[in-house]
Structure 1
Amino acid sequence: MIAVTLGPEGTYSHRAARAVADEIEFRQSVTSIVDAVAGGEYDRGVVPIENSIEGSVTESLDAVAEYDVAVVREIVTPIRHALLAQNEAFETIASHSQALAQCRAYLEREYPDAALEAVASTAQGVEYAREDPSVAGIGHPDNADDDLRVLAEDIQDRSSNATRFFALAPADERSKAGGKTSLVVYPNANYPGLLLELLQPFADRDVNLTRVESRPSGERLGDYVFHVDVAAGLYERRTQEAIADLEELAANGWVRRLGSYDTEHVVD
């Protein structure tokens, strides 16, 4: 099995993807990963979906709403950020925008004059630091080597920092089995009480909602797509009945079942 995830080698996505496949290839954007999986180019794609500090990864939400793919696993991994550089004489700190945000308090306190540069991944920032002594990177401490020192470890603002990743597969591998289910709902409507009506079928059947988030549909201003995670599998009658009600409410739009899946914790 071949998986594709955010590169280069050494990203947190790479660490999560190692729980999915032995052979891993890399792309530079989430959208290109989801597109490649939807087209059958790869068996699996691993993308970050939510961080415990910074919230959802909007590019991932938009991509799974746009492309027809299945979510087959959820991987949760702790995030341990380290500051890596050739020496202390750096002027720029480069990393993924999420990593920079997750370390905001530390960076403002310890390096208020450093320029912050958002790049495609934590590993890319580390590579810049390896190539240029004026740049420091933020990434996992295992990225250090003879040319790159760990100047500080666990610099994230909260010790509980963790990220959820979705393992994606082609749509025909969508499963009804698992303890969680993800849905994307486009009601194509806007009136008072709409969101309450969309969520009520789950409350009526004692299905716990673990995440609800809106994203612009791109169709018009004020028009939204809703991402819903529930703590129940598609195989369960209560889930099926709730989704049937949801589809009636969204009759002018659509409801996409991304699939049911279980959660795996990866701690290395």
Structure 2
Amino acid sequence: MAQEKLNHLRTRIDAIDDQILDLLNQRAAVVIEVGRAKSGEQREFYVPARELAIYERLGARNTGPFPTEAIRRVFREIISASLSLEHPMKVAFLGPQGTFTHAAAMQQFGFSAQLVPQKSIPAVFDEVLRGRAPYGVVPVENSTEGVVSHTLDMFMESDLQISSEILLGISHFLLSRTGRMEDIRKVVSHPQPLAQCRKWLEENLPDVPLVDVGSTALAAQMVLEDESAAAIASEMAASLYGLQVVKERIEDNPNNFTRFLVIGQKSPERSDRDKTSLMFSIKDQPGILYRMLEPFSKRAINLTKIESRPMKKKAWEYVFFLDIEGHIDEKAVADAIAELKDYCQFLKVLGSYPRAR
């Protein structure tokens, strides 16, 4: 009797799966029509605000028992496959495979996108600038260790725009060939993960030397050749490179996030939840820092980040990076930036784009 009921339930599941498949193909046919309409009007194929709206609408509509947190993952792949029908999506990212930037790119663009690893942040910018990839993904800041200076420096030289941002929860895994703590004679990783795991390393491997390398994935590759070494990398790197997990989640701060930027030739259209990033250099005069922020304060525009970097060509002069809420197409934002420009030696808007949820 139990087997008969089980067979009946499996038959129902098969019938529902057939309906899902039919609906996916119907959706794909509509997507192809959307692609043709966009092509005629020369619109962007990748519209991050539209994707976010889909996730939020479906999440709000969900009544269960299918978990709401899984809806984004499922529809991320549906949208990724649909975009590949409209237009092959090629995305450059800071590689090699298995880096956190790789994970961020997959989170944003899905498995159907063609993800192309690059050896450096400048190489990602160059790939997009030359049109070999319409988009690139680069890290910009970590909630524990701060900004990624190479990314900010590239915006000083490049005219590329920010298309969207990605927030990725970061968990660090200690990986080796043997999986045994007692075999470890050195630990290799990118400087940021080493810094984010500093306390754990001091307490558990106090006498083991730490070696900086270009990426967490490169560290994982190096450990493949050295049984006495361990890498701090992602769980995905363990799977990709066939390494054993010595210890999982060794980051000092469990609330550890990295923010990544998607860069492209232009910023997307206005949505209902935007952020604008800009960079500028100010004229040195009394009270200038106050006047720099006043245009935003008097218009009640919220500043979400301010960062400074030294100018490479002029000693003791700085470039400021500012993130504000709102889109450049909004009058208050445009007016505030225009007023700020009067105090600047130069000013560049890096893009207006949907804020990550």
Query: Percent identity among equivalent residues?
Result: 37
Indicate whether 1:12 and 2:110 are aligned: no
| CA displacement, residues 8-64 of structure 1 (integer Å, 9 cap, x when unaligned) | 101100011111361111112112211222232211110001100000111111111
Inter-CA distance 219–192: structure 2 relative to 1 (3 Å threshold): farther
Distance 1:161 1:75 in 2: 14
Partner of 1:120: 214
Indicate whether 1:103 and 2:194 are aligned: no
Q: Per-residue deviation at 1:176?
A: 5.2
Indicate whether 1:180 and 2:272 are aligned: no
> What's the TM-score, normalizing by structure 1?
0.93
Indicate whether 1:47 and 2:138 are aligned: yes
Structure 1: which amino acid aligns with 2:118? R
Structure exhibiting the larger radius of gyration computed from Cα positions: 2
Structure 2: which amino acid aligns with 1:214? S
1:165-204 map, 5 Å: 165-170=260-265, 173-175=266-268, 177-178=270-271, 179-187=274-282, 189-204=283-298
Partner of 1:30: 121
Greater helix share, 1 or 2? Answer: 2
Distance 1:166 1:20 in 2: 13
Inter-CA distance 83–76: structure 2 relative to 1 (3 Å threshold): same
Q: Per-residue deviation at 1:220?
A: 1.8
Greater strand share, 1 or 2? Answer: 1
Q: RMSD of the alignment, in Å?
A: 1.5
Partner of 1:75: 166
Distance 2:328 2:131 in 1: 24
Structure with more relative contact order (C-alpha pairs < 8 Å, separation 6 or more): 1
| CA displacement, residues 140-188 of structure 1 (integer Å, 9 cap, x when unaligned) | 1232248411011110011100000000002xx223524101001122x
CA contact (8 A) 2:91 2:114 kept: yes
How many residues get paired? Answer: 260
* SS across alignment from 2:109: coil
Partner of 1:164: 259
Match of residue 62, structure 1, among 123, 146, 153: 153
Indicate whether 1:148 and 2:243 are aligned: yes
CA contact (8 A) 1:209 1:231 kept: yes
4+ residue stretches of structure 1 with deviation over 4 A?
none
Q: Per-residue deviation at 1:215?
A: 0.4
Runs of at least 5 residues in structure 1 that lack an aligned partner in the other structure: none
CA contact (8 A) 1:86 1:149 kept: yes
> What's the TM-score, normalizing by structure 2?
0.70
Q: Per-residue deviation at 1:84?
A: 0.3
Partner of 2:316: 222
| CA displacement, residues 47-89 of structure 1 (integer Å, 9 cap, x when unaligned) | 0011000001111111112211110100000001010011331
Q: Per-residue deviation at 1:264?
A: 3.6
